[in-house]
Chains A and B, each alone.
Chain A
Amino acid sequence: MLLCGAVSMVIPQSVQTAAEEGTILEDDLSVLSDRIVDYKIEVELDPTNKIVQGHEILTWRNRSGKGVQDFCFHLYLNAFRNNRSTFVREGRYQSLWAGEEKIPEDHWGYTQVKSVEVVSSDQEVVGSDYAHPDDDNEEDRSVLIVHVDKPLPPGEEIQFRIDFESKLPRGTRRTGWSEDYFFVAQWFPKVGVFSEEGWNCHQYHRSTEYFADFGIYDVSLTVPSNFVVGATGMRISQQENTDGSMTHRYYQEDVHDFAWTASPRFLKKTEVFTDPTLPEVEVTLLLLPEHKDLEERYLAATSHALRYYGHWFGAYPYKTITVVDPAYRSSSGGMEYPTFITGGTHFWAPATVLRPEGVTVHEVGHQWWYGMSANNEFEEAWLDEGLNSWSESKVQKHTYSPSRYMVRFFRDIPFVFNSVEIPFETASLSAVRRSGQDDVMIRRGWEYSSNTAYRTNSYSKPEMVLWTLERWIGEKTMLEAMRTFFQRYKFKHPTTQNFIDTFNEVIGQDMSWFFDETLFSSELVDYAIGTARSTEIPERQGVFDNGIIQPLNSGEEEGTRQREYLTEVVVQRLKGARFPVDVLMVFDDGEKIRRSWDGQDRWEKYSFQKPTRLEYASVDPDRKLLLDINPTNNSRYRATDKGFALATKKWASKWLFWLQNLLETIAFMA
């Protein structure tokens, strides 16, 4: 039972205030989205029993042209209710908590709807039942359908009051508790997305994230007074209660989810992000004490992301962003929620390894790709994860030196190998090489052939595709296309086709061939130089058309004849994907010849007759095709010289040295 006193109703006039201050430079902040939902939630956290209990008042507007009588709700936490949920089944019944086979009772989590009633009209709830629209799992409880007695006509709205209790799981898959740390996400009955096709309200799957409509969230959270709280949106009031608890009220417009965190251990640091051409943003960092020395790195990464994403795609329209340093083994790191993200790091984090920077930039970036450009993550995850992985790498490339290769020996001790740079553009190439052929990018999250295929096709491959596209069309056009896409579909639910159409329009040509080879194909890219040789052309001998039998050295004095070489270069397409490529041939005298090949056939041959020999040939010499899975065969020298094997000798000697020491280590045991 809530024991809070009267809470002052201070709904921020964010739109008006921002407009008055003149901070809105390019975005119209009046009403940003169509605001289909309006949640008013009041809950209390019981930290002992890990329970969040209270009620929500949901106002839902029917923007479709159809009447609605059944209302679909996500109860995401029920994925952790038992080991028969679709979420667990898709993980082949592996424990949700690594190393835990016999699960303690307090580890499970659930959302129990205690009551649902319509409070806005004379409609009545006539029943409810669980649904499993994506599979045959009758034991899954992650989707609830509420039936009312009369259809809600198009254009009308309905208001539900839902009393619920959410037991938080021990930290797993983005949510839960870890000792005195509570990360509360996917925690309330959340209505699905309705369109002319009906409800889009998928079960909670192992490989998928979320999809919801934009609206307003007004949430009051009551927690013990010593807890530091962070959440989506702005805190508009804080009220001490008679029982020693504290109620924090948060409010945010034009978002599609609400998450929050609470812990007595958080250190809170707030600063204001400023940029001459972007609106100010209040950045709050909730940091665990053991990571105090990483404060500046978190904040700097947040600023970089706000700045570059803002300049490239469009200004961040909200007044706040909260960055949470997640607790150890809480499974809540690296997640995005509207205006609220989690980072992730290690107390021993060398500066050259970009952690927490990478994850922070990535999650802040999700405010654009997911937060505002709100694609259906269940069905087209690449549209936010892929776009954001590319954007994140791009921000990092502009702000940091490349990360260095690091191994943690003895579990925690970082060994950084500074001479090995991890390039931003190709860091994900290995995943494409290993599993790019397993599946295609456009597929519903839970229908991928494996979790690896989901990850590769949602994160790694699209990132590589976008880097390749950028090199193809140039950075300026790429950013213009991305900006246009964002501006056109912010606060909407864009699809892959919207993306393709926007790019074709901005580029000014039909790039469908490119998207067919990448988005809709699982073929890999591998172009190679198969042959690179120069053969000396011998002296003329034999019978020629003029009927004269040429004697040896005819017309030429011994030793003065100009040598000529027949140079042949064969370029091969070793895998299935087809792209036009350039081929560069460099001759011994420095001459360079460049040819273009449409890359359609399996091979193409180039021949030249010249007085100099070929030095080397290179396909895709500018490395536009970053998707090419084997860059080592993209060039070939005609001849080997004495230094040809130097690299092999250098690295083999180091490997030998390791082996010599390993032998001694083995001998230590005898």
Chain B
Amino acid sequence: MVVLATKFVGDDRLHGLNMRQILSEGWRLLTRHKKAVFFFYLTNVMVAAFLLVPFMEVFDHSLGLGLYREQMVHALDYDWYTLFVDRVTGFASTFAPWVMGAGPFAKNMEALLNGEITQFPWEILCLGGVYVFLQTFLLGATLGSLSLNPKGTSTRQFFQNGVIFFGRFFRLAVLALLTFWVLDSWIIEPLAFLVNKLSEGALTDRGASAWNLVYYLLMLLVFMIVNMLFDYAKIKVAIENSTSIILSFLAGVNFCKKHFLAAFGLYLGITILGVIGVLIYTGVEHVLPQRTWLPIVVAIFWQQLYVLGRLSIKLFFYTSQVQFYLQRQDFKQIPDIQSSN
């Protein structure tokens, strides 16, 4: 079986690139693999849409058959909302005014940092499970394609790469989920307890708030680092055809340790790009009137454009990290696997 990342090995073109150039090379690589973005988006919207029809039924029923329908086109009516909250259970109960503006990002980030993802209704968690499963496949396909077919792939090749790497990526995903679970149990909970104690002991609400802020920043930092370690573990699997996920993870850790500032700087840089994306999305969403058909359709289009943009940035993460990994890795140590086949 020929499963190799040999195209990059020995390629000196990437050596000596600065961060801007790495990003530029990452972007170039992304443009060659646009179909990955498309498949990611398709998966995202299809999985999410699985609950859309039942949600719409619940929502539509809650509006009644009268004048509230018109009111709710103009603005979210608080009386309706409290009625909805009081009556609806299950996945539809997740609807709240924070679905507007920057609310979704804040809500999700808060759930992540508080370790509250598992508290969403089971229907949504099931969808999350399916999504992780499909994402793992697509990520294997994408990183495999970046590695094996850096100049672009056919759809068939793309999915073949997914099949090749799925098993290892899936195990890595399980390891990552386990790691986050351990973080949640061993770090978040004790840390939250500690911060609660500290903030309760604070003299003022400002003091307590400062402790909370420190807590969230710390958690964000930890989550970003863990995520970054697994990114490089996946890259290691794809580029160097590693079969052991433990060794790949350790190699990812080793790589990040060796190039921490640069690796984290790259991570942070693209994160900032994501934040800018959120700000642009929120700003535009805020000014769209959304009271008649056309602006509502435009808003829906804008939402989907944002999701597409977010997924592009996510893949841009990977292409840039791949470039960075290739630039910094000592390839002389990589065995010539091709000749061994």
In angstroms, Cα B34 to Cα A592, docked, is 59
- Among A290, A637, A650, find the residue whose CB has the most chain B CB atoms closer than 10 A: A650
CB distance from B336 to the nearest CB of A (A): 32
Interface string of B81-115 (1 = CB under 8 A from A): 11101100000001111111111111111111100
Looking at the assembled complex, report how far the CB atom of A644 sits from the nearest CB atom of chain B, in whole angstroms.
Answer: 6
Q: Using Cβ atoms and an 8 Å threshold, which residues of chain B touch A179?
A: 203
Contacts of A532 in B (CB 8 A): 65
Q: Is the CB of A656 within 8 A of B68?
A: no
Of B135, B208, B209, B293, the most chain A CB neighbours within 10 A belong to B209
Tell me the count of chain B residues lying within 8 A, CB to CB, of chain A: 93
Residues of B within 8 Å of A433, CB to CB, are 82-83, 86
Name 26 interchain pairs, CB-CB below 8 A, sorted by A. Answer: A99-B200, A405-B97, A409-B106, A409-B110, A412-B205, A412-B209, A417-B101, A420-B75, A420-B81, A430-B85, A433-B82, A616-B66, A618-B67, A632-B62, A635-B66, A647-B72, A650-B73, A650-B296, A651-B76, A653-B296, A654-B303, A655-B55, A655-B99, A661-B310, A663-B47, A663-B127
Is A573 in contact with chain B by the CB < 8 A criterion? no
For chain A, residues 614 to 660, give those with C-beta under 8 angstroms from any C-beta of chain B: 616, 618, 629-637, 640, 643-660
Contact: B112 with A649, CB < 8 Å? no
**CB within 8 Å of A: which B195-252 residues:** 196-197, 200, 202-209, 212-213, 216, 223, 227
A329 engages B63 (CB within 8 Å): no
Tell me whether A430 and B82 are in contact in the complex, defined as CB-CB below 8 angstroms, given that A652-B55, A656-B49, A660-B48 are known contacts. Answer: yes
- Chain A stretch 507-527: residues in CB contact (< 8 A) with chain B: none
Contacts of A640 in B (CB 8 A): 65
Q: Are A665 and B109 in contact (CB under 8 A)?
A: yes
A669 an interface residue at 8 Å Cβ cutoff?
Answer: yes
**Contact: A655 with B95, CB < 8 Å?**
yes
Chain B residues with CB under 8 A of A630: 83
Q: Shortest Cβ distance from B83 into chain A, in angstroms?
A: 6
A660 contacts B307, C-beta separation under 8 Å: yes
Which residues of A sit under 8 angstroms from B108, Cβ to Cβ? 658, 661-662, 665
Residues of B within 8 A of A656 (CB): 48-49, 52, 55, 303
Any chain B CB within 8 A of the CB of A351?
A: no
Distance A529 CA – B103 CA, assembled complex (angstroms)? 35
* Given A421-B78, A635-B66, A637-B65; A347-B135 close (CB under 8 Å): no
Kindly list chain A residues whose C-beta atoms are within 8 Å of the C-beta of B131.
663, 666-667
Contact A651 B99 (CB under 8 A): yes
Judge if B51 is at the interface, Cβ distance under 8 Å.
yes
Minimum C-beta distance from A654 to chain B (A):
4
Would A669 and B177 be within 8 Å (CB), given that A415-B103, A660-B44, A663-B131 are in contact?
A: yes
A313 to chain B, nearest CB (A): 28
Q: Please tell me if A429 contacts chain B, counting CB pairs below 8 Å.
A: yes
Please state if B310 and A422 are interface contacts (CB–CB under 8 Å).
no
For chain A, residues 414 to 455, give those with C-beta under 8 angstroms from any C-beta of chain B: 415, 417, 419-423, 426-427, 429-430, 433-434
B79 CB-CB contact with A under 8 Å? yes
Q: Cβ of A420 and Cβ of B97 under 8 Å apart?
A: yes
B63 to chain A, nearest CB (A): 6
- Asked if A643 contacts B293 (CB within 8 A), the reply is yes
Which residues of chain B from 168 to 216 have any CB-CB distance to chain A below 8 Å in the complex? 173, 176-177, 180, 196-197, 200, 202-209, 212-213, 216
CB of B272 within 8 Å of the partner chain: no
- From B96, B124, B177, B212, A410 is in contact (CB under 8 Å) with B212
CB-CB contacts of A320-334 with B at 8 A, as 1s and 0s? 000000011100000
Point out the residue from A99, A409, A647, A666 that lies within 8 Å of B63, measured CB to CB: A647
Q: Give CA–CA (A405, B223) in the complex, Å.
A: 30
| Cβ-neighbour of A653 out of B103, B173, B299, B311 (below 8 A) | B299
Q: Does B59 contact A (CB under 8 A)?
A: yes
Take A348-B209, A655-B55 as given contacts and tell me if A665 and B112 are in contact as well, using a CB distance cutoff of 8 Å. yes
From the candidates B45, B60, B85, B209, name the one contacting A411 in the complex (CB within 8 A).
B209
User: Is the C-beta of A25 less than 8 angstroms from some C-beta in chain B?
Assistant: no
- Identify 13 new A-B residue pairs, CB closer than 8 A, beyond the known A327-B204, A630-B83, A659-B124: A409-B107, A410-B106, A410-B110, A410-B216, A618-B66, A618-B67, A635-B64, A645-B56, A650-B73, A657-B104, A667-B132, A668-B227, A670-B173
Task: For the complex, give the distance between the alpha carbons of A529 and B67 in Å.
Answer: 12
Residue of A nearest to B103 (CB): A415
Interchain CB contact under 8 A, A651 and B205: no
Q: Within 8 Å of chain A (Cβ to Cβ): is B320?
A: no
Measured CB to CB, the closest approach of chain B to A150, in angstroms, equals 53
CA–CA, A570 and B52, complex, Å:
33
- Which residue of the partner chain, among B64, B105, B293, contacts A636 with CB atoms under 8 Å? B64
Are B103 and A423 in contact (CB-based, < 8 A)?
A: no
List, in ascending order, chain A residues with CB within 8 A of B157's CB. none
Contact of B45 among A423, A649, A660 (CB under 8 A): A660
